Each structure stands twice: as structure tokens, then as C-alpha cells.
């Protein structure tokens, strides 16, 4: 059996980027926009049903 090659301690953290960390900075823009679109859709459904 061969031993694995040693890697520097922080190597995996540098190479692998978290998907959540990539999107978190967009949340202050995306959440209000999605909320506004959802409210418009629900209002149009309510008007259509009335």
C-alpha cells in the first residue's frame, strides 16, 4: 500500500468554493425582487378570481 502524498493543510479550502458563499452577496438584491414578483402574481390571481 502506498501512502497518499501530503498536502498543505488549507489546500482543500482554497480549491473548493462553497455554493452558498457564492450566492450570499446577491441576497439583498434578489430577495426583494422575488418578493415583488410574487406579490404581483398573487395580486393578479386575486383580481382574476374576483
pLDDT tens for 15-26 read 678 888 888 999
Report the mean per-residue pLDDT for the chain. 83
The pLDDT tens digits of the residues spanning 1-50 come to 566 666 666 665 556 788 888 889 999 999 999 999 999 999 999 999 99
- pLDDT (0 to 100) of residue 17: 81
Q: Please indicate, yes or no, if residue 1 is contained in any of the structural domains.
A: no
Domain span including residue 35: 26-50
Q: Please indicate, yes or no, if residue 15 is contained in any of the structural domains.
A: no
Apex CA 32: angle with CA 22 and CA 38, to 5°? 115
* Domain count within the chain: 1
Q: Please indicate, yes or no, if residue 2 is contained in any of the structural domains.
A: no
pTM: 0.56
Q: Please indicate, yes or no, if residue 41 is contained in any of the structural domains.
A: yes
Apex CA 32: angle with CA 46 and CA 25, to 5°? 155
CA dihedral defined by 34, 35, 38, 43, rounded to 10 degrees?
-150
Angstrom distances, CA of residue 41 to CA of 6, 16, 27: 55, 38, 21
Amino acid at each position: 500500500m502506498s501512502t497518499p502524498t501530503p498536502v498543505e493543510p488549507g489546500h482543500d479550502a482554497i480549491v473548493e468554493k462553497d455554493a452558498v458563499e457564492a450566492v450570499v452577496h446577491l441576497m439583498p438584491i434578489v430577495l426583494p425582487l422575488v418578493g415583488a414578483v410574487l406579490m404581483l402574481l398573487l395580486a393578479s390571481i386575486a383580481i382574476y378570481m374576483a
